[in-house]
Amino acid sequence: MHRTADDVPTRVFDWGTIKWLVTPHLDDGAGLTTGEVIVYPSEGHAPHRHPGEEEVIYVISGRGIQTVGEGDDEERFPIAEGDVVYIPTNVLHSTYNTTWSPLRLVVVYTPGGAETVLDSLPGARVLDAGAMPHWSQSA
């Protein structure tokens, strides 16, 4: 199987965009999900957890702050190009872009499939394959 980013829809949120490149709903037999995430400048996603999935985040470019855990066990640390973060199953986490340029990430979930719940979040939009998102920053 081979595809380009233009071959798949783009998920657009107020904090950034996601392109799922390999997923069980696109690829028969796939047991994981892999995608590219772009976190807009000065934005981030709300803390959340994946009850049944582990996650790996690889930073392609940009800088930000990553949180992993909660309460006394919360870790908060800077992330930058080349860094990797492992998030165990059901651990609260969030990613924030602390700069003026996009924060580009590759994310991997295993097992894959649960990422489809993001499409039902308030304000989520799914653009057709090949359609370009319009980036805007809230004031």
Q: Average of pLDDT values for 76-87?
A: 98
Q: Average of pLDDT values for 1-7?
A: 88
**What mean pLDDT value characterizes the chain?**
92
Is 56 exposed, middle or buried (CB count within 10 Å of its CB: 0-12, 13-18, 19+)?
middle
Q: Average of pLDDT values for 120-130?
A: 84
Domain ranges of the chain: 10-121
**Overall pTM > 0.85:** yes
pLDDT at residue 138 tops 80: no
Q: Average of pLDDT values for 77-102?
A: 97
Q: What is the pLDDT of residue 137?
A: 55
Percent of the chain topping pLDDT 70? 96
pLDDT at residue 110 tops 70: yes
CATH code of 10-121, in short, is 2.60.120.10
Q: Average of pLDDT values for 11-16?
A: 94
Q: Average of pLDDT values for 9-34?
A: 93
